[in-house]
Structure 1
Amino acid sequence: MPATYRRTHGVRHLFAALDLKADKLYGHVSSSKKHQDILRFLKVLRRRYHRSERLYVVLDNFSPHKHRTVTEWAAENNVELVFTPTQASWLNRIECHFAPLRSFVLRGSHYPNHEALATAIRSYLRWRNKHSRHARLLREQKKIKVV
């Protein structure tokens, strides 16, 4: 990844979810990470599953995750928000899936714009969900560093 300190066009944020049962990775690229963006992503996840199924969503302690609007919506929609302890992101099972994404999509890349980057991330997620047991993918997942 090129080391750039001036991001004249802003940054992008990846909201991601891992379905442990189906071994599927879902993601959405956003220009911001406010509580409204998090709520939008949670609503998309909720629509993927039957309303009677309780969803457990593991999150870090980022303040928009705990916004009143988000927590109230979760309580009303059979979604339990589970927060990892501070400085313990490694407890979230999705973390090891970011190493392959960095390796296959970001490392050595220089996308011309944010849309090209978002397209590459979406393409990777589709490939990953079809090849979740691919040897190279599994090797990359093991590279997560626990501090």
Structure 2
Amino acid sequence: MSRGPKAVAPDLSENEHAALQRLLRRHGTGQALAQRVRIILACAQPEATNLGVAAVLGVGRQTVALWRSRFAAHRLEGLVDAPRPGAPRSIGDEAVERVITLTLEEAPNNATHWSTRTMARRTGMSQTAVSRIWRAFGLRPHQAETFKLSSDPAFVEKVRDVVGLYLAPPDRALVLCVDEKPQIQAAQGTAPTFPLRPGQPERATHDDRRHGTLDLFAALDVKAGTVIGCCEQRHRSVEFRKFLEQVDSSVEPELEVHLVLDNLKTHKTQLVHDWLVRHPRVHLHFTPTSASWLNLVECWFAVLSRRRLQRSAFTSTADLEAAIQGYIAETNAHPKPFVWTKTADEVLANVARFCKQISNSDH
């Protein structure tokens, strides 16, 4: 049984067909418009039905019928969203542009950056309107970030070396990211913490009692996501060599060991060098100076701090060490690798692009 009148083919002209193809190829075309263009091109095929086009493109039959009829009535203009109902805009494009220009190019008197209130007073808008404009254009004047560029003369070579280990590790070898997290405080508040309650966050005192510090040595298995770790009172080359012994005994003897680590002096002492001579299967790969973001164990340190250390109370260094070892055990029981995705060329291109931006800055 027929479900309605037979769908009429769009009968595209050569110019219309070319215009639709250009829309599909253009990078700036939105997904919604691109889907409508594909619907019209499919409907232009001989014997194309709404149901058949819907099945091929994975959309509803009513959607195909809607855009087929809109195109038949208004041609290319019919593929654009119709004006939506509601009150007209009360803030014009010129006012929006003024807010953006002021935000990006000027600063308020007696302040380093704009707030929604100061901008509202300057432009005569409401604070809510300023907030909506900033959100729409991704402007956050209250936020600031810091950066540091590596001055290592071997920056390019070290990036390629470390990233190459992440993306294409050698056969029959284990890649470990090694670093120290020094001066972890065993501290507790001067008063008990008030627990979380409905309508009230957890509350703790701003000051604390300190019971000593520990230094954590950790080696993250890049492929497996497991961690080898130990806590020491200090982080000299003596403790680092002891940790290397622990790493060496934890890895199967038939595997080569590649360690990614930073340029700390304790990693390059004669004591460590002599140990490496006696253990030729262990190879060190140094990240560039001021480029700790290349060492994936830093990601694990951040997770450890956020999930286990920041809001905990420790009455002694033994209590702190037990908490750290417990978290390491939990990590190894349910490992989740930190997967590196960018190639060395992509990393270097990003750094070069950023260097070009700051070199062209007026500041």
Q: In which range does the TM-score fall when normalised by the shorter chain?
A: 0.7 to 0.9
Partners of 1:74 and 1:27 in 2: CA distance? 20
| 2:322 aligned residue (110, 119, 124) | 119
Partners of 1:6 and 1:127 in 2: CA distance? 28
Structure 1 segment 1-147 matched on structure 2, within 5 A: 9-77=211-279, 78-133=281-336
SS at match of 1:12: strand
Partners of 2:273 and 2:212 in 1: CA distance? 28
Q: Indicate how the Cα distance of structure 1 residues 70 and 115 shifts in structure 2: closer, same or farther if over 3 A, else same.
A: same
The alignment's C-alpha RMSD in Å is: 2.4
Large movers: runs of 4+ above 3 Å:
1-7
TM-score (norm 1): 0.81
TM-score (norm 2): 0.34
Look up the equivalent residue of 2:217 and give its one-letter code.
F
Q: Which has the higher contact order (CA 8 A, sep 6+)?
A: 1
Residue of structure 2 in register with 1:142 after alignment: none
Partners of 2:222 and 2:330 in 1: CA distance? 17
Residue of structure 1 in register with 2:172 after alignment: none
For this pair of structures, how many residues does the alignment match? Answer: 134
SS at match of 1:109: coil
By how many angstroms is 1:66 displaced?
Answer: 0.5
**What is the percentage of aligned positions where both structures have the same residue?**
35
Given that residues 262 and 292 in structure 2 are in contact (C-alpha distance below 8 angstroms), is that contact kept between their aligned partners in structure 1? yes
Unaligned runs of 5+ in 1: 139-147
Q: Indicate how the Cα distance of structure 1 residues 112 and 90 shifts in structure 2: closer, same or farther if over 3 A, else same.
A: same
SS at match of 2:218: strand
Q: Indicate how the Cα distance of structure 1 residues 26 and 4 shifts in structure 2: closer, same or farther if over 3 A, else same.
A: farther
Unaligned runs of 5+ in 2: 1-186, 190-205, 339-363
Q: Indicate how the Cα distance of structure 1 residues 55 and 109 shifts in structure 2: closer, same or farther if over 3 A, else same.
A: same
Partners of 1:101 and 1:40 in 2: CA distance? 23
